[in-house]
Copies of this chain bind each other. A is one copy, B any other.
Amino acid sequence: MTSGRGLRVGNQQHLSGQHTEIQYKVDLEPVGRRALIAPGMTLLDAARRAGVEIVSVCGGMGACGKCHVRLVQGELTPPTSVETRTFNPAELAAGHRLACQARPLGDVKIDIPPASLSTPQRLQVEGQESEVAVDPVVKRVDVTVVPATLHDLRSDTVRLTDALAEQDVPRPFFDQPVLHDLSGKLREQNWSVRLALRRRNHRSEPRPRGEVVGVLRPEQALLGLAVDIGTTKMAAYLLDLTTGHTLAKAGLMNPQIAYGEDVVSRIAYANRHADGRHLLQARLMESLNDLIDQLCQEAGVTHEQIVEAVVVGNTAIHHFFAGLPVRQLGESPYIAAVTEPLDICACHLGLKLASGAKVYLPPNVAGYVGADHVAMLLATDAWRAQKPTVALDIGTNTEISLAVEGQILSCSCASGPAFEGAHIHAGMRAAPGAVEYVQILDDGVHIQTIGGKPPVGICGSGILDTVAELRAAGIIQRTGRFQPNHPRIVPWDGGGAFLLAPAANTGNGHDLIVTRRDVNEIQLAKGAIRAGVEVLLLEAGLTAQDIDTFIVAGAFGTYLDLESAIRIGMFPPLPLERFQQVGNAAGTGARQMLISAEQRRLAAQIGERVRYVELTIHPSFTAVYMNAMYL
């Protein structure tokens, strides 16, 4: 720890007594790592320094064109001739560059597309398979019509309607975009088509008229897409709408990360830039279309077979996705434009699905409790719990529900991005080389990294473990202060740091440390979560010991060590058997709503039944929160 090389030097934070050379900060998204480099170094150098592996077949000679990145912010050297050969002017203008060619001229932020990352990040796509009866809102009808002649001049839609009537199918509505290629398909397919008919209204006449949302060949299966869009990650599932089976799964980082770690910064970005909201929406659609391509390829199907989709996300993501205004979401009192369920035409969003496919968005509860939480309550059955049940999904924002005897109380707390690796000195997302588990024993510090690689940073479960172990070993006090005389405590601005792994053992040649500030970030985060749980219990007149089931959903929730979480006081001290770690339950809920109209009805009920508790104006919140921050 004698040199400051490679350590994070923020604008306000300088190492005292250190000789300061000019260094540029390179923020690498979506992995969430930062490197400091000297002027003249390339982006590829920066990535290597940060332990982020960018594909570089030619080793940085500018020959392979694989190290494709995109400039989000800041300035780079002008494109080299290698780059002008690789990219067209429009791409160059949009910031596309080769990492081995481009050199920062100041602090920059870079977006690394998935194809340029040599090892994928760990994405959470697993979750319980759904166990609901298959009854989707879109069903198939095969129909063959009499060809048109000069003696039979009925229009194509009338011809189809008449043929459907013979099968006792009521006159359908034809969705506008479907009409754009219906006539061509009828003729190409020799007047035989498989129609995807969508139920238009649940509670209307006994024989409700359906809506034609897709026109397929008679042998093509009807498919559906379920997507869970998190602030950081996206998970997508391709399902067969007839069997209800999941055919393919895929995950990807949320590309909006480049515009802000959390939704509040993204809303601020959208407010500052004239078409910021549309840009953020467009980036989402690009990535979703990539996911759709990937799923279709894996399952050997075409995107035209995907006749229905369900998308869940928090309220801000929901609004960005649907193109809704977000300004009022970012300012007190944080009002959602819409909380009711929505059906949006995929073609108007720019999603590559069947021409008339609709995207169903389940209801939101409030500005900071979104459709993903509703989906989670649905998938875990928490919403109908009779015995006290807590269900939460930890993220930058943590949504918590307490259900008991048919009542549901929900709240949202700003737990911050610490568990995503942000605001943590050596923090990173759950990618290869991230420390995920830590044990401090008498013989020293034991760490486990994702992929078993030499450590380059710490992800959420790793930092949680570290703090719990430091506390158990007495290296930090209840307030979060370090014991100053422990041999692994090194001097560090703002209260010292704990040396988790010395430079010799790490993947990037730097000491891996956990600072006093890092511990404080975790205290703030875990305190907010615990306070949310406690306030809901207060509202329901219960105590922590009354909790029968404690459901932990989401990616971080799957990997976190429950004992560590209890030891640092993030979760109440309940017997471990009362806890359930359910994985991506929001994704499971989305899949259930994709294959079952009944599940949508229930989701709408949940949306209406939840009573939202606004923590910031709750009389007990501040005191509970202050108390919950102790370790």
The interface of chain A, by Cβ under 8 A from chain B, is: 148-158, 174, 176, 179-184, 187, 204, 322-325, 327-328, 332-340, 342, 344-345, 348, 364, 366-367, 612, 614, 616-617
Closest to A204 in B: B204
Contacts of A151 in B (CB 8 A): 614, 617
Closest to A201 in B: B204
Contacts of A150 in B (CB 8 A): 332-333, 614, 616-617
A345 and B176 CA atoms in complex are apart in Å by 9
A4 and B288 CA atoms in complex are apart in Å by 65
A323 and B347 CA atoms in complex are apart in Å by 14
Say whether A180 contacts B617, CB under 8 Å. no
Say whether B325 contacts A184, CB under 8 Å. yes
Say whether B153 contacts A366, CB under 8 Å. yes
Copies of this protein, total: 2
In angstroms, how far is the closest chain B Cβ from the Cβ of A251?
28
A271 and B184 CA atoms in complex are apart in Å by 12
A-B residue pairs in contact (CB < 8 Å), sample of 5 = A151-B617, A156-B336, A157-B337, A158-B339, A176-B322
Contacts of A174 in B (CB 8 A): 338, 340
A324 and B183 CA atoms in complex are apart in Å by 9
Knowing that A181-B325, A183-B324 touch, tell me 16 more A-B residue pairs with CB under 8 angstroms.
A150-B614, A151-B614, A152-B333, A153-B334, A153-B335, A153-B366, A153-B367, A153-B614, A155-B338, A156-B336, A174-B338, A179-B337, A180-B324, A182-B337, A183-B325, A183-B328
Contact A337:B616 (CB < 8 A) given known A176-B348, A204-B204, A366-B153: no
A500 and B451 CA atoms in complex are apart in Å by 93
In angstroms, how far is the closest chain B Cβ from the Cβ of A370?
11
A153 and B614 CA atoms in complex are apart in Å by 9
Say whether A339 contacts B183, CB under 8 Å. no
Contacts of A154 in B (CB 8 A): 335, 339
In angstroms, how far is the closest chain B Cβ from the Cβ of A441?
48
In angstroms, how far is the closest chain B Cβ from the Cβ of A355?
11
In angstroms, how far is the closest chain B Cβ from the Cβ of A162?
12
Contacts of A334 in B (CB 8 A): 153
6 A-B pairs closest in CB distance: A155-B339, A155-B336, A150-B333, A183-B325, A183-B337, A148-B335
Contacts of A333 in B (CB 8 A): 148-150, 152-153
In angstroms, how far is the closest chain B Cβ from the Cβ of A356?
13
Say whether B179 contacts A322, CB under 8 Å. yes
Among A151, A183, A335, A339, residue most surrounded by chain B Cβ atoms (within 10 Å): A335
In angstroms, how far is the closest chain B Cβ from the Cβ of A611?
11
Contact A156:B337 (CB < 8 A) given known A181-B325, A324-B183, A348-B348: yes
Closest to A149 in B: B333
Say whether B155 contacts A337, CB under 8 Å. yes
Contacts of A339 in B (CB 8 A): 154-155, 157-158
Contact of A612 among B153, B184, B324 (CB under 8 A): B153
Contact A327:B183 (CB < 8 A) given known A150-B617, A333-B150: yes
A342 and B344 CA atoms in complex are apart in Å by 19
A339 and B161 CA atoms in complex are apart in Å by 12
Say whether B617 contacts A328, CB under 8 Å. no
In angstroms, how far is the closest chain B Cβ from the Cβ of A540?
19
Say whether B156 contacts A328, CB under 8 Å. yes
A155 and B324 CA atoms in complex are apart in Å by 12
A323 and B367 CA atoms in complex are apart in Å by 38
Contact A340:B148 (CB < 8 A) given known A322-B179, A348-B348: no
Closest to A348 in B: B348
Closest to A161 in B: B340
A148 and B364 CA atoms in complex are apart in Å by 17
A324 and B567 CA atoms in complex are apart in Å by 65
A420 and B182 CA atoms in complex are apart in Å by 34
Say whether A156 contacts B204, CB under 8 Å. no
A562 and B338 CA atoms in complex are apart in Å by 61
A327 and B188 CA atoms in complex are apart in Å by 12
A338 and B328 CA atoms in complex are apart in Å by 42
Closest to A174 in B: B338
Say whether B340 contacts A157, CB under 8 Å. yes
